[in-house]
Amino acid sequence: MNPPEACKPLWEHGWYRAAHHLASPNFGPRPDGVVVDLLVLHSISLPPGVYGGDEVQRLFTNRLDPNEHPWFEQLRGLEVSAHFFVRRDGALWQFVSCDQRAWHAGRSRHQGRDNCNDFSIGIELEGLEGETFEPVQYEVLGRLCADVAKQYPIASVAGHEHVAPGRKRDPGEGFEWTALRRRLGWSARCFPSVSDTSRRL
């Protein structure tokens, strides 16, 4: 007899029970002894500003047809992934075990450490950099961050724009860092500094 859903563990081998699971081939092992203590937030929509399709899921599983839309040509052959994806309607997807290294941050640096993919968990929000996000996305993101922090010693949350300045701009000015901080109740030290973001903490 299978245990009821409420009795199942929230995490199993780095997979989060509250998410839809769709395994990506784009991942690898984390370096030995690494401490996973950073959350990196991104925004994504394919094509930019278009929501509701399955293009992001297909991108992260190498099934996006570059001939399907002119903008997709620049993604031809790209192998990327994130651990999580929060849709505009609040649906949550997971593509890579948090015990593994997803390919989301690229060339990056945080608090003196390079290669953020090694020690971070990447969370994509369906949206366009500089634009706003939906209240339900903050609700799901807050719950996800809190549950991740119960499993991993998370010390910081940053945007892609903060770990790859000049190269990336997401999630952008439309992301309300104050809303996330209020929801989590974490210290301001866990978030980008006032000088690093347009939203005061």
**Measured between alpha carbons, how far is 126 from 43 in angstroms, rounded to an integer?**
6
Residue recorded with tokens 């997971």 = 94
Contact in structure between 38 and 120 (CB atoms under 8 Å) = yes
Does the annotation count 124 as an active-site position? yes
* Rounded (5°) CA angle 61-87-91: 95
Q: What is the DSSP string of 80-128?
A: ---SEEE-TT--EEE-S-TTSEES-S-S-EETTEE-GGGTEEEEEEES-
3-state SS assignment for residue 143:
helix
In the set 12, 55, 73, 124, the catalytic residue is: 124
| Residue closest to 104 by CA, chosen among 88, 90, 91, 123 | 123
Return d(Cα 128, Cα 105) in angstroms, integer: 17
C-alpha dist (Å) from residue 62 to 25, 66, 75, 182: 8, 10, 10, 36
Residues tagged active-site: 124
